[in-house]
């Protein structure tokens, strides 16, 4: 049995292809059942976010499994197998482990180190378990991946620094207001997407009052409703600015609309109470001279980008630490996986040797007639020695190669050469449904509660 994964993500496929291969949670039962009908498949799970769709499977035949899953995905998005192949990637065996561990750790995400993907991996596994789609190998792989993802976030700071313009603004606001931003007010100037996203992050971090001003009052009303805030007419902008601790400006104006004299008047009425202004418009909405006014902290798009670049560099540094953790975890998992096949294979080989030995000893005793106990002991000892010496090197070599990336090949060759029946593999092939009691509950705590189904990360 072998591990495989076939999928696509934001690096390999445009959104119009990704959306065709999206699997909302309500569709997973049918999808998993269809994948499991593929002849070679013994267990499967589907990870689907808005940035990736991946089908993981434990199969008896790699090529048959890959081909079957590609055909399943092609049928799903109504493309030919040759057309969809341009967007798909696939990994097998050792590379599957490496890929899933990196995905769960946020190293393969659009935003390096993002946290939501860990919860999504957990949920994908949980659903596959509930539907009886997994098997022993996949259970252990996913549980281990969730643990690895948690370990990476616990032992590194890969998710600690903002790497989006909108969230960098929030982090800066927290630094400027020493007692935090909980309960503070924000004024949004312009009803564009970037200012909306920044306001969303601020509200999520405790900002209590949202004011929205726009040249189109109707658009201001619409955006204010999103945050349960208040729309402000554009000609009343500076009157309401007197009550705002944070100002986000992102209009389409071709010139500065917030000038030093305006802010000086505002700050006088605020008694120079601290104000944080975020100018994310291009061209800029706020005259740079505003930044020199007492009590005002002004940041433009380039300032925020510098913060993001610095934070991204820090995340990349932490990612290198994460890769080391993943490498160690892969080695441990590979040793476990190899033992699941090497150990029962060795046992089956020794059993075959014992059967042949006993069969030939019995035949020899029958042909030789009356033998003394000593003669029988000598013959038995000789037969035992021959079998042990004959099997010694194959057993030692299999134990040596089993933990390597090619260990499965040695195991399979030995099984085929000696026509071995390996019952331990059948257990792994057939173990479906819920893992051992408490596993999901424990890993749920480890992985956190990410959203199921669709996401804007991953």
**189 and 151 within one domain:** no
In a domain, 277, yes or no: yes
**226 and 136 within one domain:** no
Which pLDDT does position 290 carry in this prediction?
A: 97
**92 and 6 within one domain:** yes
pTM, to two decimals: 0.68
In a domain, 327, yes or no: no
Give the residue numbers spanning the domain of 285: 165-306
Does residue 51 have a known ligand-binding role? yes
**185 and 145 within one domain:** no
**368 and 414 within one domain:** yes
Does residue 129 have a known ligand-binding role? no
Q: What is the dihedral of CA 225, 226, 227, 229, to 10 degrees?
A: -20
Pick from 327, 298, 266: which is nearest to 107 by CA? 327
User: Averaged in consecutive runs of 10 residues, what is the pLDDT profile of the chain (458 residues)?
Assistant: 92 91 94 96 94 94 95 92 92 94 93 89 96 93 96 91 79 87 94 84 91 95 94 96 95 93 96 93 93 95 86 90 94 81 85 92 91 93 93 89 77 86 55 46 45 43
**144 and 10 within one domain:** yes
In a domain, 16, yes or no: yes
What confidence tens digit (pLDDT) does each residue in 239-250 have?
999 999 999 999
Say if residues 1 and 58 touch (Cβ distance below 8 Å).
yes
In a domain, 393, yes or no: yes
Does residue 49 have a known ligand-binding role? yes
CATH assignment of the domain containing 125: 3.30.460.30
What confidence tens digit (pLDDT) does each residue in 33-64 have?
999 999 999 999 999 998 899 999 999 899 99
Does residue 195 have a known ligand-binding role? yes
Say if residues 308 and 280 touch (Cβ distance below 8 Å).
no
Q: Which of 50, 77, 129, 256 is catalytic?
A: 50
3-state secondary structure (DSSP) of residue 271: coil
**11 and 143 within one domain:** yes
**15 and 144 within one domain:** yes
CATH assignment of the domain containing 287: 3.40.50.720
CB atoms within 10 A of CB 406: 11
Which pLDDT does position 423 carry in this prediction?
A: 63
- E-strand stretches of 2-148: 2-9, 41-49, 52-59, 89-92
Does residue 230 have a known ligand-binding role? no
Does residue 190 have a known ligand-binding role? yes
In a domain, 443, yes or no: no
Among 108, 136, 155, which residue terminates a domain?
155
Say how many domains are in the chain.
3
The set of residues, in sequence order, having a beta carbon less than 8 Å from that of 429 and lying 6+ positions away, is 1, 42, 43, 58, 60, 135, 136
In a domain, 86, yes or no: yes
Catalytic (active site) residue 44? no
In a domain, 17, yes or no: yes
Number of helices (H) and strands (E) in the chain: give both, helices first.
Answer: 17, 10
Does residue 340 have a known ligand-binding role? no
């Amino acid at each position: 049995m072998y591990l495989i994964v076939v999928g696509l993500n934001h690096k390999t496929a445009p959104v119009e292809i990704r959306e065709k291969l999206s699997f909302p949670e309500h569709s997973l039962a049918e999808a998993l059942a269809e994948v499991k009908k593929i002849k070679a498949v013994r267990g499967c799970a589907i990870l689907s976010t808005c940035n990736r769709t991946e089908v993981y499977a434990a199969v008896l035949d790699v090529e048959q499994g890959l081909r079957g899953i590609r055909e399943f995905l092609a049928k799903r998005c109504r493309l030919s197998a040759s057309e969809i192949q341009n967007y798909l990637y696939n990994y097998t065996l050792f590379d599957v482990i490496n890929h899933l561990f990196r995905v769960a750790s946020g190293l393969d995400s659009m935003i390096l180190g993002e946290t939501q993907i860990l919860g999504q991996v957990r949920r994908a596994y949980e659903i596959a378990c509930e539907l009886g789609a997994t098997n022993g190998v996949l259970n252990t792989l996913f549980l281990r991946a969730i643990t690895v993802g948690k370990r990476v976030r616990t032992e590194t700071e890969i998710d600690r620094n903002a790497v989006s313009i909108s969230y960098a603004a929030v982090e800066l606001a927290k630094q400027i207001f020493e007692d935090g931003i909980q309960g503070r007010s924000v004024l949004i100037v312009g009803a564009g997407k970037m200012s909306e996203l920044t306001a969303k992050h601020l509200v999520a971090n405790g900002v209590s009052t949202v004011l929205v001003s726009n040249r189109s009052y109707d658009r201001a009303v619409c955006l204010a409703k999103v945050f349960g805030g208040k729309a402000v007419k554009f000609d009343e902008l500076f009157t309401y600015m007197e009550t705002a601790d944070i100002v986000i400006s992102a209009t389409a104006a071709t010139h500065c609309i917030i000038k030093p004299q305006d802010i000086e008047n505002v700050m006088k009425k605020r008694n120079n109470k601290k104000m944080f202004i975020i100018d994310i418009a291009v061209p800029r909405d706020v005259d740079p001279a505003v930044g020199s006014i007492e009590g005002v902290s002004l940041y433009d798009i380039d300032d925020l980008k510098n913060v993001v670049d610095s934070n991204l560099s820090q995340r990349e540094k932490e990612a290198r630490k994460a890769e080391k953790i993943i490498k160690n975890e892969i080695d441990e998992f590979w040793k476990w996986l190899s033992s699941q096949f090497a150990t029962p294979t060795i046992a089956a080989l020794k059993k075959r040797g014992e059967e042949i030995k006993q069969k030939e000893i019995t035949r020899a005793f029958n042909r030789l007639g009356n033998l003394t106990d000593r003669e029988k002991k000598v013959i038995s000892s000789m037969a035992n020695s021959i079998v042990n010496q004959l099997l010694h090197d194959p057993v030692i070599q299999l134990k040596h190669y089993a933990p390597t990336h090619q260990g499965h090949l040695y195991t399979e060759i030995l099984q085929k050469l000696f026509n071995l029946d390996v019952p331990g593999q059948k257990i792994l092939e057939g173990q479906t449904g819920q893992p051992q009691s408490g596993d999901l509950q424990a890993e749920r705590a480890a992985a956190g509660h990410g959203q199921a189904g669709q996401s804007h990360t991953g």
